Amino acid sequence: MAVRTADAEWRGALKDGTGRIKTESGALDGPYSFRSRFESDTGTNPEELIAAAHAGCFSMALANALASAGHPAERVSTTAKVHLDKAPGGFAIGRIDLVCEAEVPGLDEAGFKAQAEDAKANCPVSKALAATEITLTATLV
């Protein structure tokens, strides 16, 4: 199966250093810093990248599950909110909130919720992050 890579380099101390993250595909090549991670400075951060990966993976998994069940979605849109919190010994990702909205003709609310919960439990990124609480708000429109 596929192996994907990304590189990160950090220079300097934590608070005044700078880093750069890039993916092998070239889709991302950008800076990150203490301020982009813990404040509101420009640049990316690891939590934002986890959120992007989780939102993308969940959306694909849900779309696949819906189509496999005979209800192909017209649209699946997901936002992932990764919570970085102070914890004993430093910081930790304590929770990820998935907020999904989907257009699925011919599917009732109960069927949609069941497929969404299954996708949350079984998308590869959710499995990789299983030690973290993952919540789901799924809306059928």
One digit per residue, the tens of pLDDT, for the chain of length 141 reads: 899 999 999 999 999 999 999 999 999 999 999 999 999 899 999 999 999 999 999 999 999 999 999 999 999 999 999 999 999 999 999 999 999 999 999 999 999 999 999 999 999 999 999 999 999 999 999
Question: Residue 128 sits in a domain of what CATH number?
Answer: 3.30.300.20
54 and 79 together in one domain: yes
Rg of the chain (C-alpha set): 17
Answer yes or no: is 99 within a domain: yes
12 and 73 together in one domain: no
Answer yes or no: is 93 within a domain: yes
Who contacts 37 (Cβ-Cβ below 8 Å, separation ≥6)? Answer: 45, 46, 47, 84
17 and 81 together in one domain: no
Q: How far is CA 26 from CA 1, 32, 87, 123, in A?
A: 20, 16, 34, 24
- The pLDDT value recorded for residue 1 is 86
Number of domains comprising the chain: 2
Answer yes or no: is 95 within a domain: yes
Answer yes or no: is 30 within a domain: yes
- Count Cβ atoms within 10 A of the Cβ of residue 110 and give its class: 0-12 exposed, 13-18 middle, 19 or more buried: exposed
Answer yes or no: is 1 within a domain: no
CA–CA dist 25, 10 (Å, integer): 20
- The pLDDT value recorded for residue 141 is 94
57 and 22 together in one domain: no
Answer yes or no: is 54 within a domain: yes
pTM tops 0.85: yes
- The pLDDT value recorded for residue 79 is 98
Answer yes or no: is 117 within a domain: yes
Residue 27 belongs to what domain range? 6-38
CA–CA dist 67, 44 (Å, integer): 34
Residue with tokens 């907020």: 99
Answer yes or no: is 56 within a domain: yes
Residue with tokens 């090549």: 29
